[in-house]
Structure 1
């Protein structure tokens, strides 16, 4: 698949892949100056996301966030050797991307409102959207090159495990539980859930278990499974109530 997609230098012939209509072929992404491996990887990400309708042509071309990241990776001369994007660390790439757009005066962030543990409002700045797109592309390629069985990974792609899954959820992420005794039993439980329920149901169950894991790490870091008792569960219920209060404070 990578070799097939790498062919054209510009995607004026992109209709061949069924991604856009003929009357929109004037919208072209030019890859002619990109190194071969980087060019191929970026085309593959675009092709896959657009073929599955997760991204539209407007998302890629009209929304400059995605296009800017593609141009940065392929045309900024950051990658001087013909090697994979993921051969560099994501922290290094994020740092370079931030510097690159900051120098152009195009680095933007948004301010969001949340609450502290006392219910008092506080504000924080989120990163430029290009950073999130870069991380997404990086993780996508990392997952593609990882040939291990999906169940052996710390992050499971629902679409690979349940091909008929049509929800918005794409990943089952266990990384927050790694190193905790919950890690293995939760993975086994979610694997069973995927066999009898939809991917969306399994995703939600994992989300609740991750909240429980976060609670244990914050309030009972040394507790083991055999010591779970009624008092701890009551403490967890109060913890969830406080979390809901923070949610309503933000909204």
Structure 2
């Protein structure tokens, strides 16, 4: 987040909120881990968090409250606070006492100036400013360069207080937290923010108005769609800012501008894995469709910032490359030989993840819908066991699919485990697969963690496809496996469409074509009923 020119200051009620809990142990300038009120087990090591170098009481209490609140909400673990943050806090307070001794609040620090000086200080004292992050258990993931923990501590404390003290309406800010917008969003994804600072001025307010109208007022787009719009249209606005730095709105946008943008877009580079490549047709298609949608919308409602020329004369359908549709032999599904290997090694996965994997394969639910299942999702009827859950993508409430007794027993065991472990505070929405501590407490397990741990297992256990290559899992491949299996078992296509809650028969037909091709290649006959 880029620091706003708006002056943010702590108000009396903020200071009261900070100072009120800082009593007893928390009032001390030295916190010994062995005496910490939040200590949940015995630690053989003895570490301390030391605040005594900070002379200004206001700033000192801000640092204390940050750690107190993090420990209380389990956003920061005991180990991380006292083992990892302890040396970083020591260096940070030394720097503060030397160069910013008169500060009343951490947000009084000129952020970019501070970072420049702090990086210099760290280098002079033999401390790192950046680290190369490699995941040893995930060698297929490219290493990334990240700020060191010394830098991250300052950034985290700064952002914590900037957001605490900034009491503007969420949509007036340049960085929105979807959790504060009072809209429905997919909380199985760990991303919560929309950072508009990447949209250059003077187009930022216009674009914020567009997203606010569609996401918050009309709720005609999802949060994930808003994220895509932000990423794609910020690219267009940056191009326009460079080409016409004097413009204040889009009134003068011409066909020539659009043609130059399309050329610029086609010759840009995008990161794919470890490589930079030119965008394909699907990539260009999405960027141009989003741009056309945006211009059409602001012209339809006669916004004063809209281009004078109609969207039809600016961007025609011929400009947009046709999106490449998924072919039958291109769908990423989990074949039997891979599923058998996964089942063989499944006990090496976390016990929290195993029932999720089994339910994805058994229900065909999207990963977000499996993770969002409630404790009471299991129903026993005369005709057997059923799973009931919402399908977010198609806004289908209480979708029901049959499951085997074996899978029902897995769900019953998970129900008992979740009820035993959770409380109304740690699992207020009664999820079947909740996170019970940390930053995501009260939310479902994140879908990224499922994919990551599946691929760790594939790499560790040599789970391979028919060509002898390591099989890299995608969560949606379980849904494709379910659809292919239904077709393979001779189910009517319309019934498959209903069971999978497909909004249209298009994807269902892809499964059918896949099985037809598979059987033809293997010299077999498959009859698929379409009526």
TM-score by length of 2: 0.37
Aligned twin of 1:161: 181
Give the secondary structure class of the aligned counterpart of 1:151: helix
Equivalent in 214, 217, 226 of residue 202 of structure 1: 226
Alignment of 1:1-251 (within 5 A): 1-7=17-23, 8=26, 9=28, 10=31, 12=33, 14-16=36-38, 21-24=40-43, 26-35=46-55, 36-49=57-70, 55-63=76-84, 66-76=85-95, 77-78=97-98, 79-81=100-102, 83-109=104-130, 128=148, 130-162=150-182, 166=187, 167-177=189-199, 179-180=201-202, 182-195=203-216, 196=219, 197-222=221-246, 224-245=249-270, 249-250=275-276
> Which has the larger Rg?
2
- Check the 8 A contact 2:50/2:86 in 1, yes or no: no
Q: What CA distance in whole angstroms lies between the structure 1 residues aligned with 2:124 and 2:172?
A: 42
Q: What CA distance in whole angstroms lies between the structure 1 residues aligned with 2:268 and 2:67?
A: 37
- Check the 8 A contact 2:175/2:194 in 1, yes or no: yes
Shift of 1:187: 0.8
Shift of 1:214: 0.9
Shift of 1:192: 2.6
Q: Which string of whole-angstrom CA distances, capped at 9 and with x for unpartnered residues, describes residues 187-237 of structure 1?
A: 112213432244443233222221221111123434542333444334333
Q: Which string of whole-angstrom CA distances, capped at 9 and with x for unpartnered residues, describes residues 62-118 of structure 1?
A: 44xx4444323434423423611222212342234223322321234468xxxxxxx
- Check the 8 A contact 2:199/2:237 in 1, yes or no: yes
Cα distance change, pair 232–160 in 1 and its aligned pair in 2 (3 A): same
- Which has the larger displacement, 183-192 or 102-111? 102-111
Long gaps (5+) in structure 1: 112-124
Q: Write out the 4+ residue segments of structure 1 that deviate beyond 6 Å after TM superposition.
A: none
- Check the 8 A contact 1:15/1:22 in 2, yes or no: no
- Check the 8 A contact 2:59/2:106 in 1, yes or no: yes
Q: Which string of whole-angstrom CA distances, capped at 9 and with x for unpartnered residues, describes residues 38-72 of structure 1?
A: 23212333344555665444444444xx4444323
The count of corresponding residues between Structure 1 and Structure 2 is: 233
- Check the 8 A contact 1:38/1:73 in 2, yes or no: no
Aligned twin of 1:114: none
Cα distance change, pair 148–14 in 1 and its aligned pair in 2 (3 A): farther
TM-score by length of 1: 0.71
Give the secondary structure class of the aligned counterpart of 2:226: helix
Cα distance change, pair 183–14 in 1 and its aligned pair in 2 (3 A): same
Long gaps (5+) in structure 2: 1-16, 133-144, 278-531
Cα distance change, pair 52–162 in 1 and its aligned pair in 2 (3 A): farther
Cα distance change, pair 129–30 in 1 and its aligned pair in 2 (3 A): closer
RCO greater where, 1 or 2, for CA within 8 Å and sep 6 or more?
A: 1
Q: What CA distance in whole angstroms lies between the structure 2 residues aligned with 1:229 and 1:14?
A: 64
Give the secondary structure class of the aligned counterpart of 2:245: coil
- Check the 8 A contact 1:5/1:43 in 2, yes or no: no
Q: Which string of whole-angstrom CA distances, capped at 9 and with x for unpartnered residues, describes residues 6-52 of structure 1?
A: 33121645454xxx623349554233454432232123333445556
Cα distance change, pair 47–153 in 1 and its aligned pair in 2 (3 A): same
Q: What CA distance in whole angstroms lies between the structure 1 residues aligned with 2:276 and 2:87?
A: 31
